[in-house]
Chain A
Amino acid sequence: MAQDEREKLMDLSLEEKIDHSKKIIREAIDKFGTEKMAVAWTGGKDSTTMVWLFRETCRELGVPMPRCMFIDEGYVFDEIWDIVNQLKKEWDLNVVIVKNTDVSDKAEKVGDMIRVADLNERNRQEIAKLEYEEEEFPFEPESFVGNHLMKTVAMNVFLEDNGITALSTAIRWDEQEARVEETFFSSRENPPHTRIQPILHFKERDIWNFIFKYNIPFCVLYKEGYRSLGAKGSTVKMADIPAWEQDLENTYERAGRGQSKEEIMGKLRDLGYM
Chain B
Amino acid sequence: MDILVCVKRVPDTAENEISVNGSGTDIERDDLVYSVNEWDNYAVEEAIQIRDKVGGSVTVISVGDSESEEVLRREMAMGADKGILISDGAFEGSDGKGLAVILKTAIEKDKYDLIFTGAQADDGAGQVGGMLAAMLDLPYASLVNFIEVSDDKKIKIGREIAGGQQEIDEIDLPCVLSIQTGINEPRYVGIRGIRKVASVEIPVLGASDLGIDQGLVGSAAAKVSRVDYFMPALGKGAEILEGSIEEKADKLIELLKSKGGIK
A binds B: no
- Seen from chain A, the residues whose Cβ lies within 8 Å of a Cβ on chain B are none
